[in-house]
Amino acid sequence: MRLIAVHLPERIVTDIQELVEKGLYPNRSEAIRIAIRDLLKRELWEQNMGKNERMSEVVG
């Protein structure tokens, strides 16, 4: 796993910490990893799957 540094507004850090304190995530790093994964899934991976499905319809 790679380490990256990100500057976040204090409000976002506070909100992420609140989610951790509520027990929804084990720590802030995991909450951020999950948020990024969900963003990529929505913006890239599902789009690409949709393209692949359309291509298979055209080819198949």
49: in domain: yes
Residue range 41-54, pLDDT digits in tens: 999 977 777 666 65
2: in domain: no
Residue range 6-16, pLDDT digits in tens: 999 999 999 99
**Which H or E element spans position 7?**
none
pLDDT score for 50: 67
Q: How many domains does one find in the chain? A: 1
39: in domain: yes
Euclidean distance between CA atoms 26 and 2, whole angstroms: 19
Non-local CB neighbours of 6 within 8 Å, separated by 6+ positions:
32
